[in-house]
Structure 1
Amino acid sequence: MDVVMRTSGNLFGDLPLPSQDEEIVALLSAPGVRIERIVSTGQASPPDFWYDQDWAEWVMVVSGAAQMRFEAEPEFRRMEAGDYLLIPAHCRHRVEWTDPSVPTIWLAIHFDQGRAEAPTI
């Protein structure tokens, strides 16, 4: 695995224009960990799609807002700036909504202590 490491930057810099797709930028990728900035501009998971990852993910909304849904929970979880979640491996989840009026900036840390390499999406 190649190591990707941005040595400096700003999470609020170079924000993409609104589009159909989220922007995902790897800030650090090394054996056992990957850190990403994700920018959402109204995107959500496709209907009936659930993430079911082989690794854990710690995710924080830095700005904007979103609603997460977990298969094992009846209620949505609204997330606003400063809110974070630890999503265990194989915890089925989805993004129900992100604020279309302002960019939602996420900081995501993917990790699996039992693997020799950082997970690949």
Structure 2
Amino acid sequence: MKPEHGNLLADVPVNAAEEIFQPLLARPGLKIERIVSNGQSSPEGFWYDSADDEWVLLVSGSAALELEGQPGLHTMQPGDWLHLPAHYRHRVARTDAAGPTVWLAVHHGSVDS
């Protein structure tokens, strides 16, 4: 095996019509990806409900999440991270419309690579 490398902030898509999910590393039980949002939010009534735990770091931009059972919005700025246990329902209420929001997401547990 050879080392792999890259830059999380290189070639960030700007003004994309949909969120971009880019796998960076996948191994049994682990998936790391870059997510780029350009003002997107979850569709009305849609909730993420993953079978795996997810740890996310907001690298740039801003976002607000709805977390099931929690009052109000969970706002995030660069440097903020959040760990979501498996099956913890959540949705993206908003992302920065002025520029790209870059996330680093680490999915762990029984992730299929």
TM-score (normalizing by structure 2): 0.94
Partner of 1:110: 107
Partner of 1:39: 36
Amino acid at match of 1:17: V
Kept in 1, the 8 Å contact 2:56–2:104? The answer is yes
Secondary structure of residue in 1 paired with 2:88: coil
Kept in 1, the 8 Å contact 2:14–2:99? The answer is no
Distance 2:14 2:100 in 1: 9
TM-score (normalizing by structure 1): 0.88
Kept in 2, the 8 Å contact 1:111–1:119? The answer is no
Partner of 1:59: 56
Q: How many residues align?
A: 112
Structure 1 gap segments, 5+ residues each = none
Write out per-residue CA displacement over residues 53-97 of structure 1, whole angstroms, 9 at most, x where no aligned residue.
Answer: 100000010011000111111110100000000000010000000
1:86 correspondence with 2:78: no
Task: Give the aligned CA root-mean-square deviation in angstroms.
Answer: 1.5
Distance 2:33 2:64 in 1: 19
Runs of 4+ more than 4 Å apart: none
Structure 2 gap segments, 5+ residues each = none
